[in-house]
Structure 1
Amino acid sequence: MTVQPTLERRSRPHGRDAELRSVAAVLDAPRRGGSGLLVLLGDPGMGRTALLDHAAASFTGGPVVRVPAAPGDCRVPGGGLRALCDALTARGTVRHPAAEEEPTGAALADALRAASADGPPLLCVDDAHVWDERSRRALAAVLRGVPRTGPVAVLVTALRRHPGSRDFAGLPSVVLGPLSRRPAGCVVDDLAAGPVDASVREELVTEAEGNPALLAFLAERLSPARLAGCVPLPRPLVDTAALRRVVSPAPDELPDEVRALLLLVAAASEDDTAGGTAGGTADAALVRDAARGAGLPGAVFAAAEAAGLLVWSSGRVGCATVPLRRLVYEEAAPARRRAAHGALAAALGGARNPLARLTHTALSVQGPAPRLAAALAAEAAREGARHPHHERSAALARAAELTTGTGARGERLVAAAEQARLAGLPRRARELLAAARATGGHDAVRGRVELASGVLASDDGPVVDAYESLCAAAALLAPYDPARAMAAHLAAADAAWAAGDVTACLASLDAAAVPAPCGSPARPDGSAPEARAAGGAAAAGAAARNTAVNGPVAGPVADGPVADGPVSGGPVAGGPAAWRGGGGDEYPAGLRAALRGRLDLARGPLRRTVERARSGGADPAGLLRAGAAALVVGDVAAACRASARAVAAARASGSAGLEPRALEYLAYAELRAGRHGRARAHAEEGLRAAGRAGQRNVAAHLHAVLALALSVEGDEPGVAAHAGHAMDSARRHGLAQAAALAQWASARTDLSRGRAPEAAARLRPVVRPVVRGGHFAVRVLAIPCYVEATVLAGQAGAARSAVEEFAVWASLGADPQAPALLARCRALLDPAGAGDWYERALHRHESVSGEFERARTLLLYGKWLRRQRRPREAGDRLREALVAFEQCGARGWAEMADSELRASGSAPRSRPEGGLARLTAQQMRIVRLVADGATNREVAVRLSLSPRTVDHHLRNVFALLGVRSRVDLARIVDRADPADAAAPAVPAVPELRVEPPRAHPGDTSGHSAVRTAG
């Protein structure tokens, strides 16, 4: 029986919406005269009993009969059946079996029928898997006949993978999986007696790994002061006492051979407690070889699997649950752990996997072992080896433990931290950096610590703090490591960019341009040469040594004071250390020229950066640099190609720390290209990746991207939610650019709803000069919206100077949409000559992509024509705008065009009504393909999305339309529009999502305010 923590405050079942709906259907069945049955399966601690508690508290149809499992039920034949009959006969009038009589399934069925005398009962059987075999089989037989017993609701819980649960196979069931991060955080808040610090909540959620019982135990034993962040958390946070609360059976209750096998599996797993948290499974062939070498019989595998302790998948094996694996490893004696790693090292003899072999060898010895440490660090740093980042980090951390010299140990710890960051393990990276900082050591080591700490803070922390750390790192590294010193300067510029400090940004770029001293001072710390190389993303190369350190990229500014000049931003590449040599200084040189308004000087270096990436390899850093440079020079297609390749390269290299940024830059590039649907899909995926990697600053910018995309679709609640998330992080971490983008998105939503004064008020701080609070990379791009809002609000005088500034920006040629938008602004400010200006704007729109901005020009033109008493011409323009808005899914804007059509006396174009009209454009495309019979994977290929994104959208559609199956969904589509339902929604697109889908040409031109900092 699973042990549940005893708490004064019980948490609500957060994150169990699907399971609660299934339980509700069971409870509702007796009210309709039928019967309901559900088996709740889950690993230990997943909340099976909590769901029973919730069901019992909410059931009002009749008596509630609870039958918990007792320790003796699994030892006495028929004991579980007797306990159940005892509980039921206490409610009914059926004869109780005598003590000497053995209860039967028939007696149980009679007792179940008799218990309904006072109304349809709810029968809750908890932990039925621990019953004796006879009782389990009798209960399962009765449950299969429940529909014939009359109105009754039955809920049974059983441990997933337990041998006793197999008797309930085939019955209606749901499996309770781990909680996602947000519901887990809500559980912590519910259980805490006072406020919970955000960082403490995040750590509890991470450590519990989605296990509600473990989360409850951690919250129970932490004092209010620790939960509030006033007192440091104990280390380790999850110890063996905590793990024992959610592991059943405990390792010491298992046979010795089974326990030895589980220890081998735990030691061989990808997250073998030495560094990572990815995977949790091991190569089955390796474990078999090691088990054979350790003298374990082959039958032990079958015994462990039959007991539900092992799981197999595609040639890999793992412990049944994460807590079991952790407890097996941590409870083992150190000598047994070393022996397990020694057996694995022996099984990996030769060149099968040199890094894993050396790592297991290092874990099988007691330190120090300098020669082994040097060999391990050298292999972890080997260029061209396809070792995952978390394995490199684990190897370098172990090499540091076996190292004698403080200098070399510090460098290896820093290198391990850099690899942990690239693996998407920021907490582990910070722990390693703290250990490296404690070694003291040479300025070169201290500089690397500050560099890595600053990059982590750029991803998740106040960017002003990140800037100071990075400046300090540059000063420490300059005499010893010029490449990393330049990386620190460029990362500092990136942090200044995010904070909106253009002066600091230029200062850092200028410092990065100072030539490195000829020769570096001797290193007095005696650090090992391979430790210096080990800090790289792909091992030793400087091209990846600090990958994902984002350098700023900007569009040109107008001549005049830099602080007040318009700047366009583009996404930034990682890996500034790669910019030295071979023309590598061209990218930062182009940035400096662009920031100073000299686009003529910036174009050459930046275009060469794009060409170099096009003909080069698949380095994510170089590809992101190319995408950024392409946006600065206005080559949007190249920016999309490079960013899409960067996403693919980050995934191929296992850079979980780079993937969120790569998706962010791709989303920005798609926005610039006017494909808001794609931008939304990439941003949603990037948001999930940023959550997994703990990158809240990246998540804030992705929220801003989503807000911008949804402001096109007219999803006002969605815009408010995402803009709110972006603003919350922006206020706490000083993300001025994210805040400006969020405000811009909210203002566009106001405009789509006809709230021009509110939109003007939102945009006024965004477009004001930088010294008064705006962001230099956003202000000029938001000017067209600001002009529209102020003119419609009757405040045209406030926009005239902004239009002249925008004219300078449009003349530079970095934004293909700018000339059309400038003509539209001129039309708004010159009512007398507006017709010519609108025609000029439409002519400009024809030469560039971007249907959304063209539709907005048509809408404004049609409104002007209507007020000029030219209804026929107004109707033509407004009808064209309505069609364009509908094609790109801009529902709010389409409603505005529809309203103007009615006001002009024209018959509006008919549009679909009913439930489907509430769906977004992306949801509607998915729905039409599903109605055609496509699977989720086929839909994902057709729309260039991930299967998880398709599943997410379908869940929302099912909830919105109130359907439960694809058949019902297809019927709704057929009833709404049979002709359209049969037509394909979009053509297939290339795998890397480079070319735009022709069926939904949206546009968010002016979205070149893409970010360049964490």
Structure 2
Amino acid sequence: MLIGRAAERAAIEGLLTRAGDSDGGVLLLRGEAGAGKSTLLARAAQVEGFRVLQATGVEAESELAYATVHQLFHPLLPLLEQVPAPQADAVRVALGMDAAGRTPDRFLVALGFLSLVSEAARERPLLLVLDDLQWCDRASVDAVLFLGRRLTAEPVAMLLAVRDEPGAGAGDVVVAPGFPELVLGGLEDAEVADLVAGAAVARPSDEVASLLAGRTHGNPLALLELAGDLGIEQLTGKRPLPDTLPVGDRLGRTFLDRSAGLSPAADDLLLLAAAAEVGEVDLLVRAAEPADPAAAVAELEATGLVSLRADRLTFTHPLARSAVLGAATTVRRVDAHRRLADALASRGEHDRALWHRAAAALGPDEELADALEDLARRSGARSGQGAASAAYERAAALSTTSEVRTRRLLDAAEAAWQSGDPARARTLGDRAEAGAARAGSRARLLHLRARAASRRGEVRVAHDLLLKAAALLREDQPGAAMEMYAEAVEGAAYAGDLDRVAAVSEAAVGLGPGTTTREEFLVSWLAVGNAGLRGRLASDAALLERVLALGERLEDPRLLVWAGISALNLGDVPAMQGFYRRALDVARADGAVASLPYALEHASMSQALAGSYASARAAAEEGLRLAVETEQQRSASMLLAILAFLAATTGDEEEGTRYAEDARAIAAPLGLGLPTAMALWATARLDLTAGRYDAAVDRLLTLAGASPEVGHPMVTTWTTPDLVEAAVRAGRQDEVLAGVDRLVQLAEATGRSGAAAAAAWCQGMLGGPEAVERLTMAIEVFRLAPLPLAEARARLALGELLRRDRQPRLAREHLRAAVEGLRQLGARPWADRAAAELRASGESAPAPETNGLETLTPQELQIVRYVSQGSSNRTIAAQLFISPRTVEYHLYKAYPKLGVSSRTQLIGAFPAEPVLATSG
């Protein structure tokens, strides 16, 4: 009978009820050893109507990649045939079922488990129970957390329990942001009395129960261990309680007292069980070879230290195992690990045997270190980078030379980084530093630190570290130096520091032509950046063609984004959009979740600049979710700034202000000039669309004069039309002439038609004898680009100009087109202004039309777009890293908004990719 825990039981029952109604979710139980987490999980596992899958984290397997999820999902593996092939293949490789497959992205593996769970839940609701999360291997923890975030619309409940106390392993660092948590404290006095009464010779008095609760902190297991040792007089308060009660270390001593009278055979079996932790009786008997195995096991069970469940000896309390190991001599512990290694090897479990051999090693052993390094490589090939890191680290400890030890520590640090554990990567890197005397080792260490700094958004730190690393490698490893120079350019660009960009491009000039397509691209890309900063792009068409041609042969999402940036800087908008689409396609196909936020930043911004606001918002929100999940501060700040810009454009002041503030809160302390500038632009656009023209001018002039890490020159260029419009309406034209001149000079220097059209647009808004001609030219260029928002706004400006010049018929032509275009885009503030101008010209604006798309959420919009292109639910799920059932859930929510009732009707209503409008 479970005593107390009413609130916890109610929370679990609520989770199960919701999951039964296809509203899945997760609940994480935290508490010290003995708090009752496992008891609550066991009670929940008795639920009726659910298929229950259970697993327990095992310390001895915490360095074996995907060991826990293999245990949890093993019954579901026959369903892999029903999972999309790339995901199924990734799962097979991760679980060692396909040694020949290529190394999968860890998130693709996790997506495979999600699809597996979703398929299993089609038959009946599913309950996943995972105890001792602190002892799970890192790859399993990542997969479980990924899965837990995506259970919406699934009839799946997940219960996790973690021992949350110092020294408990990973428990104090298992973080599950967004997951509801229950922290199990001590029992109340009345509950203590009830619990002790069931295990002792009498019910304790209220006063004794209160004393027991205070001294044990209400820990149920400590109370149960104590109850049997208390007499009636102590329970009733006639005699005092013992001076010390078995809590913490004292509880461990109590466990040792129980083992004091064991026979040598049982005592040996107990130590082997403690060393093995996974106490399979067959394994322990192989290692111990007792004369009477059954008698030894029965003797151990009689102590209450262990229990026999499903042919396994399980310790009744984690401290019991710790106490047994701690009390054994070094000689006995080493001997136990050696015998376990032999027993495991005889069963063909060589990887587990290897860890026991390592635990038995008392000094350097190069043969053993080589074996562990080989294990690390195999773990990494299965996407088990956390396990690989642990194996590299142990191999380093067993290495016989400082040079090899340093290399293995760096391997361990890089694997930890790839596993998503930057704190561990940093610690391992620090340990490697003392031995990193060679240039190559030093460069690897600097590169590792630069990547960690870049992920945190510390682009200035990353930039300096990358330059130092590249300088160490440029003579002997020019290809590696190119990679680092390119990353340094990227960081400097985020900071808005074009002087640093130029310095890096100059430094890279002498690296040579490159020997691979990747290296050739990097050399050319760096050269294009240098030429652009020097204003030579118009005369360097051959270099441009080379960058774009090499980019077409790439399959790396990040490099494809760089190719897109080059195309944007060179004025080739279609090429830019093509590269961004390919970057997204490749990242999605490979399951490269960590690469998606960066690609989605650029894709969403390009869509925003082109006026596809709903598509841009859907991409930005997806990118933001993934950036938060993968802890990428730089991308998160940029995506927040883009969302602020979109909200400002569509007239949502509350949302735009909130997103802009959130973006600045991340970007400003880190010196991220690009998202800081974007957030300021969004705020200025809110002022412009709300009629606060002077405020808009002031903000944009501040941005134009901002230093690196506060502003960004490219954003300043993009804001020029907004600045001019606000200045004209505020009567402050003279203050923006310099900005327009800079835009004209840029257009002349680069020969870009887009820049020339933007300059003409600005000059036309300022008025003068050539205003109509300039605006007409800009409209035509924007129409062909196509840049629909710029075209519609330029038409609005021309219509206003013509109406003021008393040419209403010509004005109406442009104002009608402006109203239609701006409404279709969802740029409500400008659409309202264009409608007002049209009415002033003597013609009523038609009522806005709607097709329901503007009512969709961003995720519904993405799904509708894929469906309209003929994609299946499975394909869409794979693209968006959700389950097919979640696709179905959002699709059925979208149907009534669109006025359809089936997939066929939806495709018929939107046979091509829909124009993605939004009402803001």
Q: TM-score, normalised to structure 2's length?
A: 0.61
Higher mean displacement: 817-826 or 385-394: 385-394
CA gap of 1:445–1:295, structure 2 versus 1, over 3 A, is same
Does the CA-based 8 Å contact 1:453-1:469 persist in structure 2? Answer: yes
Deviation string 1:41-74 (CA, Å, 9 cap, x unpaired) is 9756279xxxxxxxxxxxxxxxxxxxxxx99xx9
Distance (Å, rounded) in 2 between the aligned partners of 1:981 and 1:889 = 27
Deviation at 1:515, TM superposition (A): 4.9
Higher mean displacement: 325-334 or 442-451: 325-334
Amino acid at match of 1:605: L
Query: Would you say 1:409 and 2:405 are equivalent positions?
Result: yes
Amino acid at match of 2:705: R
Out of 439, 444, 447, the residue aligned to residue 448 of structure 1 is 444
Between the aligned residues of both structures, percent identity stands at 28
Does the CA-based 8 Å contact 2:588-2:879 persist in structure 1? Answer: no
Higher mean displacement: 736-745 or 871-880: 871-880
Deviation at 1:679, TM superposition (A): 3.1
Amino acid at match of 1:850: L
Amino acid at match of 1:819: A
Distance (Å, rounded) in 2 between the aligned partners of 1:983 and 1:132 = 42
Deviation at 1:840, TM superposition (A): 1.9
**Structure 2 equivalent of residue 206 of structure 1:** 175
Deviation at 1:696, TM superposition (A): 0.8
Distance (Å, rounded) in 1 between the aligned partners of 2:587 and 2:45 = 52
Deviation at 1:847, TM superposition (A): 1.8
Distance (Å, rounded) in 2 between the aligned partners of 1:653 and 1:265 = 37
Question: Map of 1:47-126 to 2, 5 A cutoff?
Answer: none
Does the CA-based 8 Å contact 1:447-1:476 persist in structure 2? Answer: yes
Out of 459, 466, 472, the residue aligned to residue 462 of structure 2 is 466
Distance (Å, rounded) in 2 between the aligned partners of 1:607 and 1:358 = 54
Deviation at 1:388, TM superposition (A): 5.3
Amino acid at match of 1:784: P
Distance (Å, rounded) in 2 between the aligned partners of 1:941 and 1:749 = 35
**Structure 1 equivalent of residue 498 of structure 2:** 502
Deviation at 1:389, TM superposition (A): 4.5
Query: Would you say 1:731 and 2:658 are equivalent positions?
Result: no
Higher mean displacement: 476-485 or 772-781: 476-485
CA gap of 1:465–1:860, structure 2 versus 1, over 3 A, is same
Distance (Å, rounded) in 1 between the aligned partners of 2:844 and 2:777 = 28
Distance (Å, rounded) in 1 between the aligned partners of 2:604 and 2:23 = 42
CA gap of 1:493–1:929, structure 2 versus 1, over 3 A, is closer
Does the CA-based 8 Å contact 2:557-2:587 persist in structure 1? Answer: yes
Out of 984, 995, 999, the residue aligned to residue 915 of structure 2 is 999
Structure with the higher helix share, 1 or 2: 2
Out of 642, 646, 665, the residue aligned to residue 709 of structure 1 is 646
Deviation string 1:153-188 (CA, Å, 9 cap, x unpaired) is xxxxxxx99xxxxxxx9999999998999xxxxxxx
**Structure 2 equivalent of residue 696 of structure 1:** 633
Out of 660, 677, 682, the residue aligned to residue 745 of structure 1 is 682
**Structure 2 equivalent of residue 782 of structure 1:** 719
Out of 919, 922, 937, the residue aligned to residue 855 of structure 2 is 919
CA gap of 1:644–1:981, structure 2 versus 1, over 3 A, is closer
CA gap of 1:877–1:692, structure 2 versus 1, over 3 A, is same
Query: Would you say 1:868 and 2:841 are equivalent positions?
Result: no
Distance (Å, rounded) in 2 between the aligned partners of 1:654 and 1:328 = 43
Query: Would you say 1:430 and 2:426 are equivalent positions?
Result: yes
Out of 394, 400, 419, the residue aligned to residue 396 of structure 2 is 400
Question: Map of 1:890-969 to 2, 5 A cutoff?
Answer: 890-911=827-848, 919=855, 922=858, 925=861, 938=873, 941=876, 947=882
Out of 814, 825, 829, the residue aligned to residue 888 of structure 1 is 825
Distance (Å, rounded) in 1 between the aligned partners of 2:399 and 2:474 = 26
Query: Would you say 1:597 and 2:535 are equivalent positions?
Result: yes
Deviation string 1:129-171 (CA, Å, 9 cap, x unpaired) is 85999xx99xxxxxxxxxxxxxxxxxxxxxx99xxxxxxx999
RMSD of Structure 2 on Structure 1 (CA): 6.2
**Structure 1 equivalent of residue 416 of structure 2:** 420
Distance (Å, rounded) in 1 between the aligned partners of 2:814 and 2:320 = 71
Q: TM-score, normalised to structure 1's length?
A: 0.56
**Structure 1 equivalent of residue 766 of structure 2:** 829
Q: Secondary structure at the match of 2:717?
A: coil
Deviation at 1:878, TM superposition (A): 2.5
Distance (Å, rounded) in 1 between the aligned partners of 2:318 and 2:540 = 54
**Structure 1 equivalent of residue 453 of structure 2:** 457
Does the CA-based 8 Å contact 1:923-1:953 persist in structure 2? Answer: no
Structure 2 residue runs of 5 or longer lacking an equivalent are 49-71, 74-122, 131-143, 150-170, 187-215, 226-251, 256-265, 294-306, 308-315, 326-332
Q: Secondary structure at the match of 1:910?
A: coil
Deviation string 1:585-630 (CA, Å, 9 cap, x unpaired) is 22222221222221146543343233224235x3345434433333
Q: Secondary structure at the match of 1:849?
A: coil
**Structure 2 equivalent of residue 117 of structure 1:** none
Amino acid at match of 1:594: G
Amino acid at match of 1:406: S
Distance (Å, rounded) in 2 between the aligned partners of 1:699 and 1:132 = 38
Does the CA-based 8 Å contact 2:145-2:176 persist in structure 1? Answer: no
Amino acid at match of 2:855: L
Amino acid at match of 2:466: L
Out of 675, 694, 716, the residue aligned to residue 757 of structure 1 is 694
**Structure 2 equivalent of residue 612 of structure 1:** 550
Distance (Å, rounded) in 2 between the aligned partners of 1:729 and 1:934 = 37
Question: Map of 1:618-657 to 2, 5 A cutoff?
Answer: 618-650=555-587, 656-657=593-594
Distance (Å, rounded) in 2 between the aligned partners of 1:481 and 1:172 = 52
CA gap of 1:325–1:910, structure 2 versus 1, over 3 A, is farther
Amino acid at match of 2:815: L
**Structure 2 equivalent of residue 319 of structure 1:** none
Does the CA-based 8 Å contact 1:841-1:857 persist in structure 2? Answer: yes
**Structure 1 equivalent of residue 369 of structure 2:** 373
Distance (Å, rounded) in 2 between the aligned partners of 1:594 and 1:346 = 66
Deviation string 1:924-971 (CA, Å, 9 cap, x unpaired) is 8579899x999997498499755479969988xxxxxxxxx958x756
Q: Secondary structure at the match of 1:615?
A: coil
**Structure 2 equivalent of residue 720 of structure 1:** 657
**Structure 2 equivalent of residue 798 of structure 1:** 735
Distance (Å, rounded) in 2 between the aligned partners of 1:981 and 1:249 = 63
Does the CA-based 8 Å contact 1:824-1:857 persist in structure 2? Answer: yes
Structure 1 residue runs of 5 or longer lacking an equivalent are 24-36, 48-69, 75-125, 138-159, 162-168, 182-201, 218-240, 268-286, 298-308, 310-323, 517-542, 544-575, 956-964, 990-996, 1005-1014
Deviation string 1:340-382 (CA, Å, 9 cap, x unpaired) is 88877777779xxxx9998898678666332343355467569
CA gap of 1:587–1:46, structure 2 versus 1, over 3 A, is same
Question: Map of 1:160-559 to 2, 5 A cutoff?
Answer: 206=175, 210=179, 212-213=181-182, 368-374=364-370, 376-377=372-373, 387=383, 389-390=385-386, 392-439=388-435, 441-442=437-438, 444-475=440-471, 482-515=478-511
Distance (Å, rounded) in 2 between the aligned partners of 1:130 and 1:943 = 35
Distance (Å, rounded) in 1 between the aligned partners of 2:221 and 2:849 = 52
Does the CA-based 8 Å contact 1:458-1:495 persist in structure 2? Answer: yes
Distance (Å, rounded) in 1 between the aligned partners of 2:383 and 2:679 = 39
Out of 675, 682, 685, the residue aligned to residue 622 of structure 2 is 685
Deviation string 1:477-514 (CA, Å, 9 cap, x unpaired) is 56765554554444444333322222233223322334
Does the CA-based 8 Å contact 2:455-2:633 persist in structure 1? Answer: yes
CA gap of 1:627–1:715, structure 2 versus 1, over 3 A, is same
Does the CA-based 8 Å contact 2:341-2:353 persist in structure 1? Answer: no
Deviation string 1:11-57 (CA, Å, 9 cap, x unpaired) is 9x9xx9x979999xxxxxxxxxxxxx99999756279xxxxxxxxxx
Deviation at 1:449, TM superposition (A): 1.6
Deviation string 1:638-684 (CA, Å, 9 cap, x unpaired) is 33333344345445666554343233343344445554433333322
Amino acid at match of 2:29: G
Q: Secondary structure at the match of 1:45?
A: strand
Question: Map of 1:32-43 to 2, 5 A cutoff?
Answer: none
Distance (Å, rounded) in 2 between the aligned partners of 1:131 and 1:781 = 57
